Amino acid sequence: MTTLDLENVNVSAFDAMPTPEELHARLPLSLKATRTVTHGRDALRKILDRKDHRLFAVVGPCSIHDPVAGLDYARRLHDLAREVSDTILLVMRVYFEKPRTTVGWKGYINDPFMDDSFRVDIGMEKARDFLLQVNELGLPTGTEALDPISPQYYGDLISWTAIGARTTESQTHREMSSGLSTPVGFKNGTSGDLGVAVNAILSASKPHSFLGINGQGRVTIVRTSGNRHGHVVLRGGDARPNYDTVSVSIAEQALTKAKLPANIVVDCSHANSSKKPELQPLVMADVVNQIRLGNKSLVGVMIESNIEAGNQPIPEDLSQLKYGCSVTDGCIDWATTEKMIRDAAILLRDVLPERTGR
C-alpha cells in the first residue's frame, strides 16, 4: 500500500488559487478605499470604547449575488449614511460566504456564477473588486468571517466582522478573530445560548498561535496578540427573540461577570424577527425605545435589507432573477430601510450624546 492509497481518499482534485499577494497586486487598495477602511475601523472602535456616542448599524443584503444591484444599493446607503452621520454610523453588510445547515448556494465567492461550477478563484477576485468599489464610495463594509483563509484575500477592505451563530463556538474562528484587524461581533448560538458568545469574546481577546497562510500563500504558524474589540450580537435562538429588556439585561450581567465591556448589538433579523423581514422595523423600534429610556449597553444593530423586499429562489435561467431581491434570507425593501434609519436618527439625535463616557 502506498501513501497515495491513504491520503486524500475522497478528494477529486486540487485546483490552483492565486496567492493573496497576487490578488492584491491585481486589485490594489486605492487611497480613498484606504481612508474609508481606516476611518470606519477607527469610528467603530471609538463607539465600543465610549469615545463616540453614535449608534452603528450594519445594513445591507443578506448576501451579495449581483454586483450591479449591490453597487446600486451601496450608492443609496452612502447617501443615507451622510444624512444621518451625526447620530448613526452606517456600515454596509457585504456577505460573500453563506453557512449552510445542510446544502444550498454557499455564496458569491464559492459559486459566483450560481451554476455549481464553484470557481472560487474567480469568486474571490470578484469579491475583492466589489469591496474596493464600495469602499471607494466612502462607505465602510462589514462581513461574516466564515472561511479562515479568506481574510488574507480581502480583510484589508473590511471595517467590521461578524462571527455567525454556527461558528461562534468554533476554536478555529475564535483563533482567527484574535488576529483580525477589525472589531468582531460574536453572535449567540442558534439555540439562543449566550455563553458561547461570551466565551468567544474572552478567547479572541487572548494571543493565539495556529496554522494559516501568509501573503505568499505559504502555510505558516500565525501568532496573534488578541483582539480587544469583541462584542456580543443578540440574534435570538430556537425561534425566540432576545432583544427585549430582560434579555438585554441578562446579556449585560453575563458580560459584567466575565469582566467584559457591556457592548451589545441587536440583529433585527433571524430569530429576533422570527425570520419575517417585515418585523425588523418593530425590533429596531424596540431597541431605539430602550436607548431612549436609558439603556447604555446597546451600541449597534444589524438589518437585512435590499432594494426589493422578500427573497426569491435561484432559477435555472438566471436571466429571470428579480433585480435587487435576495436569493437567501428575506429582506426589507429600500423604502422601509430609509424610514427605519431616519426615524431612529430623529429619535436618538438628542439622546445619544448624553451617553458619552458612560
Residue 177 and residue 168: Cα distance in Å, rounded? 10
Residue 181 and residue 227: Cα distance in Å, rounded? 8
The average confidence (pLDDT) of the chain is 95
Neighbours of 325 (CB within 10 A): 20
CA gyration radius, the chain: 20
Query: Model-level pTM?
Result: 0.96
**Is beta strand 219-223 parallel, antiparallel or unpaired with respect to 209-213?**
antiparallel
DSSP character for 357?
T
Entry field: residues in the chain: 358
- Is residue 140 within 8 Å of residue 36, measured between CB atoms? yes
Q: What angle do CA 112, 276, 130 make, to 5 degrees?
A: 25
In the chain, the amino acid numbered 156 is D
Residue 230 and residue 81: Cα distance in Å, rounded? 24
Return the domain boundaries, the chain: 17-355
Torsion of CA 82, 180, 42, 156, to 10 degrees: -60
Q: Which residue has the higher pLDDT, 74 or 100?
A: 74
Closest CA to 278 of 286, 290, 268: 268
**pLDDT in the model for residue 264:** 98
In the chain, the amino acid numbered 193 is D
> Could you report the per-residue pLDDT of 211-261, keeping only the tens digit for each?
999 999 999 999 999 999 999 999 999 989 999 999 999 999 999 999 999
Closest CA to 110 of 158, 157, 147: 147
Residue 351 and residue 328: Cα distance in Å, rounded? 36
- Residue 64 grid cell: 451579495
**pLDDT in the model for residue 358:** 44
* pLDDT above 80 for 107: yes
- Is residue 302 within 8 Å of residue 284, measured between CB atoms? no
> Could you report the per-residue pLDDT of 7-42, keeping only the tens digit for each?
889 999 999 999 999 999 999 999 999 999 999 999
Q: Which stretches does DSSP call E strand in 133-279?
A: 141-144, 160-163, 184-187, 209-213, 219-223, 230-234, 264-267
In degrees and rounded to multiples of 5, residue 8 shows phi and psi of: 55, 40
* pLDDT above 50 for 262: yes
- The dihedral region occupied by 241, where left means phi > 0, alpha psi between -120 and 50, and beta the remainder, is beta
In the chain, the amino acid numbered 138 is G
Buried b (16+ CB within 10 A) or exposed e, 300-313: bbbbbbbbbbebee
DSSP string, 94-162: -------SS-S---TTT-TTSSS---HHHHHHHHHHHHHHHHHHT--EEEE--STTTHHHHGGG-SEEE
Confidence tier at 356 by pLDDT (50, 70, 90): low
> Could you report the per-residue pLDDT of 324-351, keeping only the tens digit for each?
999 999 999 999 999 999 999 999 999 9
The CATH H-level (homologous superfamily) assignment of domain 17-355 is Aldolase class I (3.20.20.70)
